[in-house]
Amino acid sequence: MVKTIIPTGNGGELSRRMEGRVDLDGIYDRGFAEMFNFVPTVEGPIGKRPGTRHIAAGFGSWISSYVPQLRQGYILEWGEQALRFYTNGGQIRDGANPYQISTPYAAADARKIWKHKSKDRLYLTHASYPPASLNRTGAAVFNVAPLPLMRGPFKTQNGDEAIRVNVSATTGTAVATASAAIFKPGHVGAPFLIEAQDFSDVTAWEPGYNGVTIGAKRRSDGKVYQAETAGKTGTVQPTHTEGTEYDGAAIGKDINDKDAGGIKWTYLYDRFGEATIATVAPDGLSATLNITRRFADSLVSTPSFRWAHCAFSAAEGWPHLACIWAGRLFLFKELEFYGSVRNDFFNFAYYTDGGLFAEDMAFRRTLGSSEAPIWVKADQQLLVGTPSGELLLGAINSQAGVSGDNIDAFPQSSYGSSDVEPVDIGTGILFVQRGNRKIREAEYQFERNRFVGVNTTIYARHIMRSGLLQLAYQQEPEELVWGVRNDGVMIAHAHSPEQQIKGFSRAALGAGRALSLATIPADNAETDELWILADLDGTRAVLQLGDWWEEDEDATDLEQLAKLKEAFFVDFGVSYRGAPKTSFTQGLSHLAGRDVRILADGGVVGGRSVTQAGVLTPDLPYPASTVHIGIGYQARLKPMRPELRGAGTVQGRRKRVVKIMLRLIDTAAAYLRNPKGHLDSMIDRPRNANMDEPVPLFNGDTKNTSYSGAYDRDGQPVIVSDDPLPMMISAIMPDIEIEN
């Protein structure tokens, strides 16, 4: 008989393809054939996941996070053209009702809304809706409003000289008439640009010209000015872009004792005029415009082919991604991306007020990819994911600022991405590969001068077999990446680059299924909260994962008992704290008609259910002041087939597990499923423990519990936590007999 040890569990649940890879040190010997509702930790021990608290009835299809400040995070629940909010462990209320605001988004579209945070504004983009933002104007006051974009952005100017546009007026309201049907109903409300072909009908300004009359127009520096006074021009060329200025002294003598000259000039316009389309004629040949930037006078009589529609409208489509980077707001629509004026996020003017192009102005570029991007993340550059590969947008000349002439796309990898929003984690980015079956970590590698996407699911390809819907990162206290699959099962991954942990595990609610999940910092900023939108027999519920069970080696017996009373290991659970009592008639309506598990003052109470009226039945057998009631769930561990290091191998040889010992940390209950399917307790009540009190928390090695399995070629016992109590395993030590 040989005693073996599984010293750590951060190999996680391995796929069946790994069953023969006994050669992988640090993977096979730390992995499990099943890790269900247990979670590997970065240090190695395996902890039972906490239960989930029922916070409120749900109404939505998706949840996401919004964290304007570290100590003020919000969970957003997206419903049909409505949004609800959660923070500080509860739902924001408006009196007796949930606080709710209106949105333009259908519930079915919530998953596809791209969200980018900037202080108290959450940018929202979706290909079917105008770009908008969620704005926080108070701790519990929000609104969703369209982005107040200015000066476009505009599409590439028309290049067909046969299609020309003129206007009936240059200010106020005008009718634009085109030589082709260029206007569509979906253009209503969108900006429209027309550039004058030239200023040949306006005399150029010259210094020292005598005979200027009031109302005369002159062109200078690409702009047109109107004289407010008469006489001789000065020597200072007009370049101003608003208001009125003199071009000289206007009075007195110059250095030659001659009239210095000087005319008062009012800025009128440059080549570029802009308007908002108010109405469109049925034939598409004309439109009514509300002029926002004066048109050139020549456009009344001389049609121009230099016109452009706004890039965003119901007719042209809406941007589907947004990101702030390099002091600009970037908006992505299909293969094009648009950068705002530097440090002016809503301004998309391509040219200065003088009609000139400059590096600080907005720009439009086409992404060098065959596929439209589906996610974007800001780092020192912009990392962009497309279905066919990953790109990096950055400056061509790193010594200069990003501008329209100093930006390019550099291919990074050809894995291809799914539409699951990536998560920032440490110094890398986790994204889901095309097909929704693999998670890759993109991190910059200096020696290769590119972002490299390492497959984190290489040893657990089964873990995402049904496809992944969403990712979230719970950094404190356990450094866990969470995901929710299409089948409603959650996955967890202990992430630590230092430990190079490979382990994943599965987690499922005791009933129902998870639909969506997100994390936010707790109000103390010391821990992170995981929130879950769940479905229970067709009824939605918003849940919050309970506090992680943390060991306390210095706790006294009384402190351990107080700690055990707060252990929360039920799903859809509620808690009572108050005067001791035995009956519970409120707060349980969401559990109506269900069997429940109970922890009452640290003691397990079974055999209870909730009536259709929401009443616990029967009452508790004793009065309790701290009570947790919810749906029970089971946690299971099944090791890989054992391999004994030394000469040869025991793989394929008949063997049987005789006994098992566990090394436990602050654990209240642990069971071994015996060959007949029964559960044998591995922790006995200490002889000096009072019978009317809960079993004290156990630390150390359990008794060597008999298993008496039959000889087979597997040798894989199952360890179970079936009670609503904590369990943490730091080592598993089976005794194995091997047949000669």
pLDDT of residue 449: 72
DSSP, res 144: E
Residues contacting 661, CB < 8 A, separation 6+: 701, 702, 703, 704, 705, 732, 733, 734, 735
Angstrom distance (rounded) from CA 212 to CA 351: 30
CA-derived radius of gyration, the chain: 35
Nearest to 685 by CA among 673, 671, 674, 695: 695
Question: What are the backbone dihedrals phi and psi of residue 471, each rounded to the nearest 5 degrees, phi first?
Answer: -125, 150
For 115-157, write each residue's pLDDT tens digit: 999 888 999 999 999 999 999 999 899 999 999 999 999 999 9
Percent of the chain with pLDDT over 70: 96
Residue 528, pLDDT above cutoff 90: yes
pLDDT of residue 266: 96
C-alpha torsion angle, residues 228, 234, 236, 237 (rounded to 10):
60
pLDDT of residue 716: 86
Angstrom distance (rounded) from CA 694 to CA 578: 19
pLDDT band at 104 (very low <50, low <70, confident <90, very high): very high
C-alpha torsion angle, residues 422, 427, 433, 438 (rounded to 10):
-110
- Per-residue pLDDT, averaged over 686-690, amounts to 66
Q: In Å, what is the CA distance from 359 to each residue of 132, 329, 362, 401, 403? A: 27, 15, 8, 8, 5
Helix (H, G, I), strand (E, B) or coil at 713: coil
For 509-519, write each residue's pLDDT tens digit: 999 999 999 99
Amino acid at 585: T
- Per-residue pLDDT, averaged over 52-80, amounts to 95
Please state the pTM of the whole predicted model.
0.91
pLDDT of residue 646: 65
Residue 705, pLDDT above cutoff 90: no
pLDDT of residue 713: 80
- Per-residue pLDDT, averaged over 364-377, amounts to 92
For 560-572, write each residue's pLDDT tens digit: 888 899 999 999 9
pLDDT of residue 690: 65
Q: In Å, what is the CA distance from 200 to each residue of 28, 326, 703? A: 81, 40, 99
Buried b (16+ CB within 10 A) or exposed e, 21-54: ebeeeebbbbbbbbbbbbbbbbebbbbbbbbbbb
pLDDT of residue 689: 63
Q: In Å, what is the CA distance from 381 to each residue of 384, 394, 518, 522? A: 10, 5, 26, 30
Buried b (16+ CB within 10 A) or exposed e, 298-335: bbeeebbbbbbbbbbbbbeebbbbbbbbbebbbbbbee
Helix/strand/coil percentages in the chain, nearest 5: 5, 45, 50
pLDDT band at 257 (very low <50, low <70, confident <90, very high): low
C-alpha torsion angle, residues 349, 351, 353, 359 (rounded to 10):
100
Encoded tokens for 308: 């452009």
Encoded tokens for 214: 């009031």
C-alpha torsion angle, residues 473, 477, 479, 483 (rounded to 10):
-40
Q: In Å, what is the CA distance from 703 to each residue of 403, 473, 553, 636, 734? A: 69, 37, 21, 19, 11
> Is the CB of residue 527 less than 8 Å from the CB of residue 88?
no
Average pLDDT, the chain: 91
pLDDT band at 688 (very low <50, low <70, confident <90, very high): low
Residue 499, pLDDT above cutoff 80: no
Residue 553, pLDDT above cutoff 90: no
